[in-house]
Structure 1
Amino acid sequence: MEWRTASSDPAAAPPTPIESRLSMPAQNLFKFDKRQRRKTEAPWLWRTPWLARIVTFGGGLALTAYGAHEMYKVVDVGGVTTLKWALLGLFVLNFSWIALSFTSCVVGFALLMRRRRRPALPTGLAETTAVVMPIYNEAPSRVFAALQTIYEDVQATGLGAHFDWFFLSDTTNPDIWVAEERAFIGIRRRLGPQARIFYRRREKNTGRKAGNIEDFVSRWGGAYKHMVVLDADSLMSGPTIVQLAAAMEADPDSGIIQTLPLIINRNTLFARVQQFAARIYGPVIAMGLTAWMGRDGNYWGHNAIIRTEAFARYCGLPDLRGRPPWGGHILSHDFVEAALIRRAGYAVYMTPTLGGSYEESPPSLIDLSIRDRRWCQGNLQHARVLSGKGFHWASRQHFLTGIFGYLTSPLWLLQLLIGIVIVFQASYFRPEYFTGEFALFPTFPRFDAERSLELFGLTMGILLAPKMLGLIVAIFEPETRKGSGGVIMLLISTLFEVVLSALLAPIMMLIQTGHVLHIVFGFDTGWDPQRRDDGSVPFADIVRRHVWHVALGVLSLVAGFMISPSLVAWMSPTIAGLVLAIFISWATSQRWLGLMFRRAGVLTTPEETATPPIAKRGKALSKALARAGEDDVNGLLAIHADPELRALHESWLPTRRPRQRGQITADRALAETKIADAETIEDAVNWLNRGERLVALSDRALIGMIARLPRRAALAAAAQRTPRAAE
């Protein structure tokens, strides 16, 4: 694909290559002819992991049956009432979830305890792969530094000629848009004319991230056999990307190969807890999933490689009927895309031990809840996709996992409330010991306390087992053990994480219950950009978000003492988390507190002790670019002050048909009027709102008007010179 110009300046080349189109039709989720499913080209690779599935699902079912039996015996003392039946049903639903997670982790633990070797770096590649980074109102210094870092690391493998690089912008903030263009000019000049780096901005972010990827595939996908999809906070090492491309070439039936991204670069206490948990417990969980999923796996939307032609042919997403939050665009598109490409006969699998794949996480509980709200809506939407035709049963299991991951919170809350009501009933209402039916002995409303305590211990053991299994694996891995500060610090960090997670759990329970109720009652979440920095959340925002959590915790404490002191003891972790919600949220969002724990060696991960070179380079480059101060410069002022930037900006605007007479948008008319009335560029900056600035920067005629406006200082200087000239 020729794309360079005769100019010696790399920035003067077209921002995108010549288009190589692929059709990406929207799929029908509920109609599928099995004859459309492709035949496998490498059937010897399709081994069904029967043993892992029997252990995971058979073991989970057996544990659930045992837990249900024990819970029935707990509530059966004195007869089973309607409330007790409800309590039993909710317990079984919640217990089945943790039982399945436990058995999956047991399988993952067994596999991780074996010795593993990282695959050798391939000596050559046959195909060209596109590496794409969708961005949406992100700080340009961060994302352009990340992609440059990945590019340099791939170049160092000697196989960089097999990769092209794309920034896929859906940015709607006019200032960030111009900052992205300046950063794009900068990265091209830094890396030189040999770097095949491109930038495309959509004017309308139709379909959000899924639509962004679809636009790329439809316009340029025909030129690339594969594409590596990143997120705005992704980092991937060069060897990892090269090995993914080699794996895709070696497996003609592969559709998506997913890596396990580790969390890095986190400093607040909340984010460091997430980072430690993902690093120590995550591999056990991921390996268990990989084991039973086999080639019927899932896709998490980033840090994965995809077969482009198959994706275009089979993964076009339809809009769901109805209005958001249940209808409209599919928010959690990745699960559905994995199900569709698997339905077509391609494999989807994960490589949890490949390494070299990184991401970041929200810096505070409030930031997590904002992202979680969108994920909740996307996963609950899958209830409408679950009955789609032709999906593999494992794909349906992935949908159920996502749905149930959010329903557990309201189910847990209901279980707590029903338990409280039963205790309250036993304490304050005079029981009817002798019912209307003939009985020799009275019916006493009570529980089997001893069996109840044993079941509680079993439940907590199963709940904490994945953490303990992950800890054992970490202790037996020399690199992880030493990088985390040794066995003692690993034990201390794990204990701290368990305690803090227990306090955070009831807060997240109420937050997620609120999300579910909002969606059930028809409130759409929207799509706001994530806050990725480590800056602390204002205390007023924390109080506003958590004041009702604290109120509910205090109410539970008072009511518990009124009903039964033993109830307070039973609910103490939940009550403590809610009563301390404001303090916990504030403390965990503090960067200084997180750094203090880091200096003490608590929650340390190997990637902090020995920072991966790619992470070190990315952080240094991001800081260097941020120091230039171009992230926050007003777009109008930047275009006005820099003729070269203005010329490139205009040349990169899409070609539009001439406006028809009488068709004028309000923003266009207001922008033109305000610019015409402005005496200086400062006037235009002050008068135009965000929407009008976006229109002005998208219109060549209005850009010409802006360029002709003088600066206020120049106008004042000219006014001072005029009287002197007259004299």
Structure 2
Amino acid sequence: MMSIATQTHVVDNARGRSRWWTAALLRRSCLLILVLGQTLVASWFMLSILPYKGGNGVEIGMLVLFAILFAWISFGFWIAVAGFVLRRLGGDRHSLLRQQDSAALNATPLARTAILMPIYHESVERSLGGLSAVYRSLERTGQLEHFDFFILSDSRDPEVWLQEQAAWAKLVKELGAEGRLFYRRRKLNLNYKSGNVGDFLRRWGRNYDYMVVLDADSLMGGETLVKLVQLMQRHPAVGILQTSPELLNGRSLFARVQQFSSQLYGPLFTTGLAAVQLGEAAFWGHNAILRIQPFMTHCGLRKLPGWGLFRGPIMSHDFVEAAYLGRAGYEVWLEPGLQDSWEESPPSLVDELTRDQRWVKGNMQHLWLMLGSRKLRFAHRMAFLNGIMSYLASPLWLAFLVLTTVATTRLVLWPINYFPDPYQLFPLWPQWQPYRAATLVVCTLGLLFLPKFLGLADVALTQRVRAFGGFFRLLGSVFLEIVVSALLAPIRMLSHSRYVAEALSNVNLRWAGQNRTSETGWLEAFIYQAPGSILGLAWALFALWLKPMFFYWSLPVALPLIFAAPISVILSRVQLGQRLRRRGWLMTGEEAFGSKLLEDMARSPLTGARQPGFCESVIHPGHNALQVALGRTAAPGLRRQRLDRLCQRCLKQGPESLDRTEQNLLAQDSQAMAQLHRQVWRVAPGSVWGRLLHREILRQPASR
């Protein structure tokens, strides 16, 4: 029988859900009518443009692909329009923040909350330095006592995780965070980030009511964290409350364009999306608070039972966890009104595409869950579809271009069939309608770019123009962002199409930490973009040979592909991004008025400090004592004998004689690290370790 507590939970959830479900149903119905109506009109217009009016397989394929892609664009357009309208009305009255009286919210007591930062081969200075800024911001609220911080490492390279441990110890000392800031590194790396969080929950989850999950590049203000907990306290039916993180701290031109776009247009899209989803929103995996007990009960991720891509651990866990909580009767909300929630953009196009390669495979897995999982809410199935389409749209667009090329080739080179239907009495005169085609292109571009100018109007109406450098610089920045977006769209299309094909073919990927700082070199760019450049050049030359008019139509897609390498290199340049910043272009609010979080991160105890790797941890007494204290000692036996042999080889031949696995074994063992430290300080000055002793400790060049 159902327990009294469970019955109460179900009744309370049903009552809370009824308050917003009617509004959600009405809004989703209106959105569906608008998108379908607009798509039907555009598809009819497209049909009238086609030479054979959909009379052959190629044109039918073009029409179907056009309808899907136009509906996808139309969906984004109406979401932005809804966001603009709601922001003009002062926000959505159904949002969790608007339901609260500010005095009652501020008086709401907090509960124990864990702040998690899973990391994997990340920059120690950036990730832990950002966490220290979050800690100081929370400390200023006077509510720090309700929060504990956990650094959850999956790093495998001893040069990285030894630095993490030393940086953690330094932060604990500098922040006075003893008993509040913890570090754990898993020895066995299973199931990616979700497995890391799951490991924390099995060990410590029952000690906390909530957890806030951060990425390695996340920043969140203390007041925002406090409000998250207070909102969860006042809404027991909510399982996940997702903030809307914006981009900041961009330095390269590419990162600054993405950052500008996020802060100018992002509020419209997140407000509109939140208004449609209401209590059935998606979870983005970070910058969100989760109710631990139902998460532990309902969000265990079983391995997929299918074949190929659809077999094994779920790679992209966030949407799935939101769907499972929804299935269990809990609500998931996106709250765009919560400010001071941030993340960073990849510094270059190559780094963004490398990240997308992993995300594509995870999102394609959701096909199995969307179609095969039982009892999921329809809205969460649509969230799966939305994530899938964010990448599947690229191969559909590529297929549309291929069919357009085939149709043009048939019309120019092949004999015209005036009687495609054997029973027709009159000939069919195939004709392109260039003016109608141009009109349809203009309308489609309007759906793509009008939200950008709605974002511009939103900034002007909310008197935030100064935050973006003034009106004329803001307007110029918008046009610059449009040009850059137009250049990047074909490059992303081709890359995402390849990634979708690789994902569906279950090509194995190497999962590594993200690059967040470096620029793209010319050789790297040419190698990475060479296939697309060759394909774009071949297509443009074929179009020129086929028909000059078709060549002109191909240029907006072909030219960015041909020049993808220089575009990628130029956009990755930090100097160019900073030059535009000094001139007031692509400005954002935290750059114009300052950001306390960024200031705290810049003043982090880790800023500019060199963290110890394997050699330093062996040599330096303080670093060695830390690693000995954190390590374990292997019991006598074969493992102990192997460690002793590795110690002797390391002492005689130096650390370079060991591979990463062997260094890991030594670094994890207290006895081995203590033994190495004692012996290294007794070696001859001219030996391998003697020279390292000079270089690492005395900071003097080793004598010959």
TM-score, length basis structure 2:
0.91
Shift of the alpha carbon at 1:142? 1.7
Equivalent residue for 2:631? Answer: 653
Secondary structure (helix, strand or coil) at the match of 2:606 reads: helix
Cα deviation per residue 1:450-501 (whole Å; 9 max; x = unaligned)? Answer: 33222222211112222222221112121x3111012222211111111111
Which amino acid counterpart does residue 468 of structure 2 have in structure 1? S
Which amino acid counterpart does residue 594 of structure 2 have in structure 1? T
Tell me the distance in 2 between the aligned counterparts of 1:417 and 1:672. Answer: 63
Of residues 442, 453, 460, the one that matches 1:468 is 453
Equivalent residue for 1:706? Answer: 676
Tell me the distance in 1 between the aligned counterparts of 2:78 and 2:277. Answer: 14
The answer to whether the 8 A contact 1:229-1:305 is kept is yes
Of residues 229, 238, 260, the one that matches 2:213 is 229
Distance of aligned partners of 1:399 and 1:442 in 2 relative to their CA distance in 1, 3 Å threshold: same
Tell me the distance in 1 between the aligned counterparts of 2:558 and 2:686. Answer: 65
Of residues 564, 572, 587, the one that matches 1:589 is 572
Of residues 356, 365, 372, the one that matches 2:349 is 365
Secondary structure (helix, strand or coil) at the match of 2:428 reads: coil
Equivalent residue for 1:24? Answer: none
Cα deviation per residue 1:586-645 (whole Å; 9 max; x = unaligned)? Answer: 100111111122122221111211122112221332xx5242211xx432x222223343
The answer to whether the 8 A contact 2:77-2:451 is kept is yes
Shift of the alpha carbon at 1:78? 5.9
Tell me the distance in 1 between the aligned counterparts of 2:421 and 2:321. Answer: 59
Secondary structure (helix, strand or coil) at the match of 1:609 reads: helix
Tell me the distance in 1 between the aligned counterparts of 2:480 and 2:571. Answer: 13
Equivalent residue for 2:583? Answer: 600
The answer to whether the 8 A contact 2:488-2:560 is kept is yes
The answer to whether the 8 A contact 1:263-1:358 is kept is yes
Structure 2: gaps (5+ residues): 1-5, 92-96, 691-704
Distance of aligned partners of 1:64 and 1:36 in 2 relative to their CA distance in 1, 3 Å threshold: farther
Q: Does 1:425 align with 2:410?
A: yes
Tell me the distance in 2 between the aligned counterparts of 1:72 and 1:193. Answer: 66
Tell me the distance in 2 between the aligned counterparts of 1:678 and 1:134. Answer: 32
The answer to whether the 8 A contact 1:131-1:166 is kept is yes
Secondary structure (helix, strand or coil) at the match of 1:339 reads: helix
Shift of the alpha carbon at 1:700? 3.1
Of residues 606, 617, 637, the one that matches 1:625 is 606
Of residues 558, 562, 565, the one that matches 2:548 is 565
Secondary structure (helix, strand or coil) at the match of 2:60 reads: helix
Tell me the distance in 2 between the aligned counterparts of 1:678 and 1:435. Answer: 79
Distance of aligned partners of 1:35 and 1:394 in 2 relative to their CA distance in 1, 3 Å threshold: farther
Shift of the alpha carbon at 1:236? 0.3
Tell me the distance in 1 between the aligned counterparts of 2:624 and 2:514. Answer: 29
Q: Which moved more, 1:328-337 or 1:42-51?
A: 42-51
Q: Which moved more, 1:427-436 or 1:292-301?
A: 427-436
Of residues 628, 634, 647, the one that matches 1:675 is 647
Of residues 71, 78, 93, the one that matches 1:103 is 78
Distance of aligned partners of 1:629 and 1:36 in 2 relative to their CA distance in 1, 3 Å threshold: same
Percent identical among aligned pairs is 34
Q: Does 1:695 align with 2:668?
A: no
Distance of aligned partners of 1:716 and 1:82 in 2 relative to their CA distance in 1, 3 Å threshold: closer
Of residues 136, 153, 157, the one that matches 2:120 is 136
Matches within 5 A, 1:395-474: 395-434=380-419, 437=422, 439-474=424-459
Cα deviation per residue 1:647-692 (whole Å; 9 max; x = unaligned)? Answer: 3323323576x46x56x5xxx8766434213445xx3312111111
The answer to whether the 8 A contact 2:348-2:520 is kept is yes
Of residues 12, 29, 35, the one that matches 1:40 is 12
Which amino acid counterpart does residue 675 of structure 1 have in structure 2? C
The answer to whether the 8 A contact 2:53-2:59 is kept is no
Secondary structure (helix, strand or coil) at the match of 2:106 reads: coil
Distance of aligned partners of 1:420 and 1:677 in 2 relative to their CA distance in 1, 3 Å threshold: closer
Equivalent residue for 1:381? Answer: 365
Tell me the distance in 2 between the aligned counterparts of 1:607 and 1:435. Answer: 63
Tell me the distance in 2 between the aligned counterparts of 1:495 and 1:294. Answer: 33
Cα deviation per residue 1:130-175 (whole Å; 9 max; x = unaligned)? Answer: 1111111112222221111111111111111111111111111101
Tell me the distance in 1 between the aligned counterparts of 2:419 and 2:191. Answer: 64
Equivalent residue for 2:613? Answer: 634
Shift of the alpha carbon at 1:223? 0.9
User: Which runs of structure 1 show a deviation greater than 6 angstroms over 4 or more consecutive aligned residues?
Assistant: 34-37
Q: Which moved more, 1:452-461 or 1:643-652?
A: 643-652
The answer to whether the 8 A contact 1:125-1:162 is kept is no
Which amino acid counterpart does residue 475 of structure 1 have in structure 2? A
Tell me the distance in 1 between the aligned counterparts of 2:460 and 2:346. Answer: 27
Of residues 532, 553, 560, the one that matches 1:577 is 560
Q: Which moved more, 1:270-279 or 1:134-143?
A: 134-143
Which amino acid counterpart does residue 261 of structure 1 have in structure 2? P
**What is the count of residue pairs matched by the alignment?**
671
Q: Which moved more, 1:299-308 or 1:573-582?
A: 573-582
Equivalent residue for 2:505? Answer: 521
The answer to whether the 8 A contact 1:674-1:687 is kept is no
Which amino acid counterpart does residue 544 of structure 1 have in structure 2? I
Q: Which moved more, 1:574-583 or 1:612-621?
A: 612-621
The answer to whether the 8 A contact 1:484-1:603 is kept is yes
Cα deviation per residue 1:351-404 (whole Å; 9 max; x = unaligned)? Answer: 112111000011001000110000000000001111211111000000001111
Matches within 5 A, 1:22-101: 38-41=10-13, 43-44=15-16, 46-48=19-21, 49-75=24-50, 77=52, 80-101=55-76
Secondary structure (helix, strand or coil) at the match of 1:537 reads: coil
Equivalent residue for 2:94? Answer: none
Structure 1: gaps (5+ residues): 1-33, 720-727
Of residues 315, 318, 321, the one that matches 1:331 is 315
Tell me the distance in 2 between the aligned counterparts of 1:36 and 1:319. Answer: 32
Aligned-CA RMSD value: 2.4
The answer to whether the 8 A contact 2:49-2:436 is kept is yes
Cα deviation per residue 1:29-60 (whole Å; 9 max; x = unaligned)? Answer: xxxxx999944357246412233212322211
Distance of aligned partners of 1:678 and 1:607 in 2 relative to their CA distance in 1, 3 Å threshold: closer
Equivalent residue for 1:112? Answer: 87
Matches within 5 A, 1:81-230: 81-115=56-90, 122-123=106-107, 125-192=109-176, 196-230=180-214
Equivalent residue for 2:701? Answer: none
Equivalent residue for 2:244? Answer: 260
Which amino acid counterpart does residue 485 of structure 1 have in structure 2? G
Cα deviation per residue 1:88-128 (whole Å; 9 max; x = unaligned)? Answer: 01101111111111112211111112335995672452411
Tell me the distance in 2 between the aligned counterparts of 1:318 and 1:55. Answer: 36
The answer to whether the 8 A contact 2:650-2:658 is kept is no
The answer to whether the 8 A contact 1:324-1:523 is kept is no
Which amino acid counterpart does residue 520 of structure 2 have in structure 1? V
Which amino acid counterpart does residue 248 of structure 1 have in structure 2? M
TM-score, length basis structure 1:
0.88
Distance of aligned partners of 1:330 and 1:438 in 2 relative to their CA distance in 1, 3 Å threshold: closer
Shift of the alpha carbon at 1:345? 0.7
Tell me the distance in 2 between the aligned counterparts of 1:586 and 1:295. Answer: 42
Equivalent residue for 1:308? Answer: 292
Tell me the distance in 1 between the aligned counterparts of 2:136 and 2:610. Answer: 24
Secondary structure (helix, strand or coil) at the match of 1:171 reads: coil
Which amino acid counterpart does residue 409 of structure 1 have in structure 2? S
Distance of aligned partners of 1:506 and 1:316 in 2 relative to their CA distance in 1, 3 Å threshold: same
Tell me the distance in 2 between the aligned counterparts of 1:499 and 1:247. Answer: 41
The answer to whether the 8 A contact 1:260-1:357 is kept is yes
Equivalent residue for 2:265? Answer: 281
